[in-house]
Structure 1
């Protein structure tokens, strides 16, 4: 099908969509409010169109219209997935299905600790709701609070409280299927029940996971678990001065997490990460290439921090919090001689639940479940017109492996002239090896280096059996191709599911490298339809 025919189908969809959502909620091609990656790795793309439904019935009508006209939809909750493409589609022939207007908080249960939200509800929204209603609940928040709670859970994002592995708090979803039908998963599949957001199972195969990082339907609401507001909270810091002490630090922190002494997934950062919170690169180094180690050592001393700086949280009964802190201090200083462990302990008034207002403003952070936009300033590290891409492979939480891959990443960053930003998230058995590549938007020479560095990082990770847990839209095919056991059996099964549930290939074609049959030939080569790495995607994919 020609590009002209595809454009005609898309235009028909947009014209008829106006009767469903209202003309003011249809974004036309190249409109000023059109959809673009705010930090494009490949600049020069034009803004693309979209529709903004206000409720489930409008989503159902739009999905049915998309099937009728053969128009593929790229679905997102708020488009704030910065460093991964934002609202950018896999293909310019798609239309955005922007769910940000669906922003109702449908339920919050203070007693059992759960909420039910639509995809447009942000972390700020739920935090303010809990505060305004005086509820004894804390939530988990990621680095930036302006994103969708539901979208973050579905994309396996994370925060820094005990419920920080957000997808594990997902409990029951309502989904518009590619034919416009409406599905509730788990216990919510029964009429007249409130068990949907309480029990993660159901009767028969569990379906919630099919809709995480998925293009099998459009999630229009979902349940999430919240934690009781604690009586006490400790915001802890660990500083380690020697770079080579990283393995011991990783091992002791993850062991403490496995034993549930430390109750959240600790964060471990380097000097560059600390510097991005304090200013721009030019404030610390005006030379070429990566900031050298000797200068980083000077910066560390000036900041009064370690080469490695970990943050952890403790929550609950005041006596237990203090005892846990004693154990953390004893175990860390024994494992890492010279390590410094500091913590501030806050308690609720007269034994009551702790109110955030009793926490010092400096400690009122994501560790305490408080949403913020403060880390957004780090994007200006390389330039006032800055951008970034996140490289975050999952690796085993073994200190020696973490350190070996760190050294490999450090050498690659130095080769390409970027500063190595480290923000490791430590789980009981794995860790997210978060590094960011900061660049100047529109600087083609720098962008070319950034793209090559990112590709080299992916290759290095794959050579060790590691892979990212989520991906920038431009690299979804490449990463999916690395899951190659038994001739890519996982991808072949995902393709069979896609073709069975969405035979028209309407919902987010190519998401996580899963293309429907109608587009597979154009975007794939090799056995099992393995997608081509970083293929240039055409604008003609909206063919009937």
Structure 2
């Protein structure tokens, strides 16, 4: 998952070379034909496609990978849309979701929150001197003081200049109808020879044009007071949710009190695909504080219970939580997990490669699986 036109990275894999646990080497797709001129141009093959077996798994070691890149476009436009009201998120999600599905917007749309913006600008104590997370009334004051919206959407438009401009005009018209109180911006960069990604200044470029950035790293220091030592850490709960304004807003309202009960604000952002979003409930804490560490455990499992009720699976997870996440695949007595573990036993009968990763256990270590929520 990433930004730009080819943001769904796993969809842009043209072929893999993989070493299996027994030492055998296999190539997938047209790459499996030694002299194929389509080796890196097509992922399709005669027979089952198996690339997915080696993504988020422990079935082999990928030694080569072909990844499709995005050609330099003639034009690139850095776009934003924001709303001032908290509940305005629902309309944003539905409007942008429709434009993702009808092809008006072809890149990933990244949604961020007011809290996350403040976290990058400074530390909690810069905005709130009281105990605990920032209360709603103070957050509303900060929104008015800074002029930031409660929710921001950021995305890029890429291609010929006239098409990019036409896309932006369409988006502008749609949002003027669906969310007239919102604010839209678009900054255009164009060059007939192709836009040089390095020439696009921050914040318009960076990861949206394929340039790595650490601009968000300061957010991990959010809870650390400046007058004492501490060791910042961060984690997240990352559910996959349908691209529905009602469901996304409901999740925000469900997860917010869980966060606040454990001493942190709802620091959320998410990435919009055509039909679903991948949400990040971020949380940061001081590793040297045992009480904060315990609260982060409670926070994580509180979010897990709410997600499980709604059938929201996970995009990623810490090694401590892999069994818990995999256990959510409960259809037909966890048939998916049983199938993958049959494959694991076939290609790795000795269970030598990362046993337990992604909740996939080889037979000889299967007794170590733990799907019980720890007591904290």
Q: Answer whether TM exceeds 0.5 for this pair.
A: yes
Match of 1:429 in 2: 275
Match of 1:219 in 2: 62
Shift of the 215–358 alpha-carbon distance from structure 1 to 2, 3 Å rule, reads closer
SS in 2 for 1:493: helix
- The CA distance in 2 between the partners of 1:490 and 1:375, in whole Å, is 36
Question: Are 1:364 and 2:205 an aligned pair?
Answer: yes
Is the CA contact 1:477–1:534 (under 8 Å) kept in the aligned structure 2? no
Q: Trace 1:494-513 onto structure 2 (pairs within 5 A).
A: 494-513=340-359
Say which of 34, 38, 41 aligns to 1:195. Answer: 38
- The CA distance in 1 between the partners of 2:353 and 2:330, in whole Å, is 24
Say which of 461, 484, 493 aligns to 2:339. Answer: 493
- The CA distance in 2 between the partners of 1:309 and 1:335, in whole Å, is 16
Is the CA contact 1:393–1:468 (under 8 Å) kept in the aligned structure 2? yes
Is the CA contact 2:78–2:205 (under 8 Å) kept in the aligned structure 1? no
Question: Are 1:322 and 2:165 an aligned pair?
Answer: yes
Give deviations 1:162-201, integer Å, cap 9, x for gaps: 1111111112111111111111111111222342221011
Question: Are 1:394 and 2:240 an aligned pair?
Answer: yes
- The CA distance in 1 between the partners of 2:96 and 2:12, in whole Å, is 23
- The CA distance in 2 between the partners of 1:462 and 1:315, in whole Å, is 38
Question: Are 1:172 and 2:11 an aligned pair?
Answer: no
Question: Are 1:374 and 2:215 an aligned pair?
Answer: yes
Question: Are 1:533 and 2:372 an aligned pair?
Answer: yes
- The CA distance in 2 between the partners of 1:301 and 1:162, in whole Å, is 34
RMSD value over aligned CA atoms? 1.5
- The CA distance in 2 between the partners of 1:534 and 1:463, in whole Å, is 15
Shift of the 196–442 alpha-carbon distance from structure 1 to 2, 3 Å rule, reads farther
- The CA distance in 2 between the partners of 1:533 and 1:478, in whole Å, is 7
Question: Are 1:343 and 2:212 an aligned pair?
Answer: no
- The CA distance in 2 between the partners of 1:442 and 1:515, in whole Å, is 33
Question: Are 1:514 and 2:348 an aligned pair?
Answer: no
Match of 1:257 in 2: 100
The alpha-carbon deviation at position 228 of structure 1 amounts to 1.2
Question: Are 1:465 and 2:304 an aligned pair?
Answer: no
- The CA distance in 2 between the partners of 1:504 and 1:534, in whole Å, is 29
- The CA distance in 2 between the partners of 1:195 and 1:282, in whole Å, is 57
- The CA distance in 2 between the partners of 1:415 and 1:535, in whole Å, is 19
Is the CA contact 1:173–1:208 (under 8 Å) kept in the aligned structure 2? yes
Give deviations 1:208-234, integer Å, cap 9, x for gaps: 111011111111110001111110111
Say which of 104, 123, 148 aligns to 1:280. Answer: 123
The alpha-carbon deviation at position 303 of structure 1 amounts to 2.4
- The CA distance in 2 between the partners of 1:535 and 1:196, in whole Å, is 47
- The CA distance in 2 between the partners of 1:260 and 1:176, in whole Å, is 38
Say which of 189, 204, 221 aligns to 2:47. Answer: 204
- The CA distance in 2 between the partners of 1:279 and 1:303, in whole Å, is 13
Shift of the 360–203 alpha-carbon distance from structure 1 to 2, 3 Å rule, reads same
Task: List gaps (5 residues or longer) in structure 2.
Answer: 225-229
Is the CA contact 1:475–1:534 (under 8 Å) kept in the aligned structure 2? no
- The CA distance in 1 between the partners of 2:198 and 2:272, in whole Å, is 28
Question: Are 1:181 and 2:24 an aligned pair?
Answer: yes
The alpha-carbon deviation at position 428 of structure 1 amounts to 1.1
Is the CA contact 1:346–1:358 (under 8 Å) kept in the aligned structure 2? no
- The CA distance in 2 between the partners of 1:513 and 1:535, in whole Å, is 16
The alpha-carbon deviation at position 302 of structure 1 amounts to 2.6
The alpha-carbon deviation at position 364 of structure 1 amounts to 2.0
Match of 1:438 in 2: 284
Task: List gaps (5 residues or longer) in structure 1.
Answer: 1-157, 525-530, 537-544
- The CA distance in 2 between the partners of 1:183 and 1:472, in whole Å, is 29
- The CA distance in 2 between the partners of 1:295 and 1:535, in whole Å, is 35
Is the CA contact 1:475–1:533 (under 8 Å) kept in the aligned structure 2? no
Is the CA contact 1:233–1:316 (under 8 Å) kept in the aligned structure 2? yes
Is the CA contact 1:389–1:437 (under 8 Å) kept in the aligned structure 2? yes
Q: TM-score, normalised by structure 2?
A: 0.95
Match of 1:301 in 2: 144
Give deviations 1:10-43, integer Å, cap 9, x for gaps: xxxxxxxxxxxxxxxxxxxxxxxxxxxxxxxxxx
- The alignment covers a number of residue pairs equal to 370
The alpha-carbon deviation at position 534 of structure 1 amounts to 5.7
SS in 1 for 2:283: strand
Question: Are 1:163 and 2:9 an aligned pair?
Answer: no
